[in-house]
A and B are shown apart, each in its own frame.
Chain A
Amino acid sequence: MQGMSIIVKKVSQLITALIFMYGIYIITHGHLTPGGGFAGGAILAGAFILLVLANGSELLKLKQKEEGSSLTESLAILAFLLLATLTLFFGTYVFFNNYLPGGTVGNLISAGIIPIYNIVIGIEVGAALFTIFLALAIYKEEMIK
């Protein structure tokens, strides 16, 4: 996949950091404001996709990236499952129990385990959408060959 002109590359490099930070903001404030893991994850994936589109990448590198992102995706969802099942085996014996202290409503660190779920879902969704994009890009590259 070919990159774009130097103007696009520079601007996208500048913008990506902002998009990335916005994604993280949406994810971490998921329990306070509209948004959350899924929406923020989609924004994170958008930042990655923008970088790949602007700078271009070779087929081999695309495949490496795809492997990495699909691994991240699986690990993130496993972490989610682990968080959810932790109390099934210890403590309350209830699946999906919110076992962390609730805190004060409106604080960033509150709502118990929900912010952690949001972070894991953000990683998972970002990696999954990026993997889908990479799979399509790899398919297109292979078609050209």
Chain B
Amino acid sequence: MYAMIPLFVILPLAAAFLIPVIGRFVNGFQKVTSTTVFLFLSLLSLYFMFARDQVSYSYMIGGWEPVRGIPIAIYFTLDGLTVFMLAIINLIAFFATFYAISYIKRYTAENNFYALLCLMVGGMNGVVMTGDLFNLFVFLEIAVIASYALVAFGVEKNELEASFKYQVLGGIASMLILFGIGMIYWKTKTLNMADVSYILSNTRQDTYLLFTQVIFIAGFGLKAALIPFHAWLPDAHSSAPSPISAMLSGVLIKAVGIYVIIRLFFNMFSLSPQVSTLIIILGTVSMVLGVFLAVGQWDIKRLLAYHSISQMGYVIIGIGIGMLILSNNGSRSIAALSIAGGLFHLVNHAVFKGLLFLNAGAIEYVTGTRNLKEMGGLSNLMPVTYSTSLGASMAISGIPPFNGFFSKLIIILAAISGGFYLLASLAILVSIITLASFLKFQKFSFFGKLRDPGNNNIREVPFFMCFSMVALALLCLGLSLLIFPGIREAVLNPAVDALMNTTAYSSLILK
């Protein structure tokens, strides 16, 4: 299975460049290829998750062996956290693509859509696997440049404006990240993350390193849309076609934002209380302000986009508490609980936010509007969309037995047992306001008098869209099982261990 590791990058890239060539002659090639590729990769990632024969793999591209103990190849690493992220990325990509088969028919240039989607997924898979800082930057640019084009896919005024804003802020983020990578290279004379980690562990934490970390937080914080770096997200996520919104909100901000922050600060830099506190503050601000910005929105997709910021705050808080406790040499079990809560909420958010964006797309597909004031009474006519969106709304607002409840519970429990009482109470408050805004979403879209803004005859969406929504809704319920010991040990614990044992990553490559 070792030789299969680079397939996560090869297959999406190959699909992305085969589609424009063959897709123009063979009708339907683009849909079949992209869905098969994503299905295969999700199965492969699940295989690596449950049945891998090693705890972690490191793959040397080009087969360049280390010279005198110094790694010279670009590495692909596959440990618990990577496998966890790969499974999320490829599963959500599969469902979004399957959904898009019906949804994207309204647009011209279907080939370009599928090619860009494959490119974006290839970039994200690369970001989570690579063990080289500059390689990470390249894959990150592949993913985000494809997403700039996908946000502007509708080529209307709003979409172009959103994409432009996204490009400007994304460009600033990329510049900051590149600058940070340059600073690391200046200090350590290497770009291999494991090697950097080894060298940094033998150097004193000075202002230079602290400044580098702040630059990285600003750069990847922009990609992850933490408040105050969030300005691009509501526009970009609400203007993109719905399957792409699901990918952007469900996966992209996690893979190129949160994942990299987690990986760099746990496994590359030495943990420090200052940076951990900064990360917790950013998370708290995102969580609280995001939900207050969301609750007043009337555009469904903007509402969901602001909730993405707020829910990312939960993830960051969970991770940040773990970082702070670890850097203060506190109780390792509380830190592990907190990190597990953060990662659990990350996968949950990918599933329910992906589903909610697909629901919003289904509503827009039949009514032609995204404005909550212009719709109503859809529950009888669109039973599948209604029931799945109810499930997702309950999951995001933290109502048992849906998955969101358990992950929020773990984060709050960890915060209380770690002594962060204010954070715990804020998390509960935000959860209540989230519930309020989703009650508003449910009430105005599905209940009340039937209104038909577009003079269409409203009916349930086609099979492909229904299938994806139902499957994701089932996942919303099924992921609650992750808190049971047997399943948790296979899925969550390896990811948490990869972070808790901060030197495991560098010892994986520097044997």
A138 to chain B, nearest CB (A): 14
Binds B, one of A10-18, A30-38, A39-47, A86-94: A86-94
Interchain CB contact (< 8 A) of A78 among B17, B59, B62, B63 = B17
B235 to chain A, nearest CB (A): 23
A124 to chain B, nearest CB (A): 10
CB of A51 within 8 A of chain B?
Answer: no
Beta-carbon contact of A78 and B18 below 8 Å:
yes
CB of A110 within 8 A of chain B?
Answer: no
Binds A, one of B6-14, B239-247, B324-332, B385-393: B6-14
Name the residue on A nearest B115 (C-beta).
A74
A92 to B61, CA, bound (A): 12
If A74-B20, A78-B17, A88-B3 touch, whether A97 touches B62 (CB-CB below 8 Å) is: yes
CB of A71 within 8 A of chain B?
Answer: yes
B173 to chain A, nearest CB (A): 23
Name the residue on A nearest B18 (C-beta).
A78
Considering only residues 73-111 of chain A, those with a C-beta below 8 Å from chain B are: 74-75, 77-78, 81, 84-85, 88, 92-98
**10 A-B residue pairs with CB within 8 Å:** A71-B20, A71-B21, A74-B21, A81-B10, A81-B13, A81-B14, A88-B6, A94-B60, A94-B63, A96-B61
Beta-carbon contact of A77 and B17 below 8 Å:
yes
If A81-B10, A95-B6 touch, whether A75 touches B21 (CB-CB below 8 Å) is: yes
Q: Known contacts A71-B21, A94-B60, A96-B61; can you find 17 more A-B pairs with CB under 8 A?
A: A70-B20, A71-B20, A74-B18, A74-B20, A78-B14, A85-B6, A85-B14, A88-B3, A88-B6, A88-B10, A92-B63, A94-B3, A94-B61, A94-B62, A96-B63, A97-B62, A97-B63
**What A residues does B62 contact at CB under 8 A?**
94-98
A40 to B13, CA, bound (A): 23
A70 to B20, CA, bound (A): 9
1/0 per residue, CB under 8 A from B, across A56-73: the answer is 000000000000001100
Considering only residues 50-70 of chain B, those with a C-beta below 8 Å from chain A are: 59-63
A34 to chain B, nearest CB (A): 19
Size bin of chain B's contact surface? 10 to 19
B257 to chain A, nearest CB (A): 27
**What B residues does A81 contact at CB under 8 A?**
10, 13-14, 17
A6 to chain B, nearest CB (A): 38
B186 to chain A, nearest CB (A): 22
Size bin of chain A's contact surface? 10 to 19
Name the residue on B nearest A79 (C-beta).
B17
A74 to B19, CA, bound (A): 9
Name the residue on A nearest B9 (C-beta).
A95
Total inter-chain residue pairs, C-beta < 8 Å: 42
A96 to chain B, nearest CB (A): 4
Name the residue on A nearest B60 (C-beta).
A94
A136 to B14, CA, bound (A): 27
**What A residues does B60 contact at CB under 8 A?**
94
**What B residues does A98 contact at CB under 8 A?**
62
Beta-carbon contact of B21 and A95 below 8 Å:
no
**What A residues does B14 contact at CB under 8 A?**
78, 81, 85
A81 to B16, CA, bound (A): 11
Considering only residues 18-63 of chain B, those with a C-beta below 8 Å from chain A are: 18, 20-21, 59-63
**What B residues does A96 contact at CB under 8 A?**
61-63
A88 to B60, CA, bound (A): 12
B73 to chain A, nearest CB (A): 9
**What A residues does B20 contact at CB under 8 A?**
70-71, 74
**What A residues does B59 contact at CB under 8 A?**
95
**What B residues does A84 contact at CB under 8 A?**
10
B246 to chain A, nearest CB (A): 27
A78 to chain B, nearest CB (A): 5
Name the residue on B nearest A81 (C-beta).
B14
Beta-carbon contact of A85 and B10 below 8 Å:
yes
Name the residue on B nearest A71 (C-beta).
B21
**What A residues does B3 contact at CB under 8 A?**
88, 93-94
**What A residues does B13 contact at CB under 8 A?**
81
A77 to B119, CA, bound (A): 13
Across the A-B interface, give the 6 residue pairs with the lowest CB-CB distance, nearest first. Answer: A95-B6, A94-B63, A96-B62, A93-B3, A74-B21, A74-B17
B298 to chain A, nearest CB (A): 35
A71 to B24, CA, bound (A): 10
A74 to B3, CA, bound (A): 26
**What A residues does B17 contact at CB under 8 A?**
74, 77-78, 81
**What B residues does A97 contact at CB under 8 A?**
62-63
**What B residues does A85 contact at CB under 8 A?**
6, 10, 14
B11 to chain A, nearest CB (A): 10
A44 to chain B, nearest CB (A): 19
**What A residues does B18 contact at CB under 8 A?**
74, 78
**What B residues does A93 contact at CB under 8 A?**
3
**What B residues does A71 contact at CB under 8 A?**
20-21
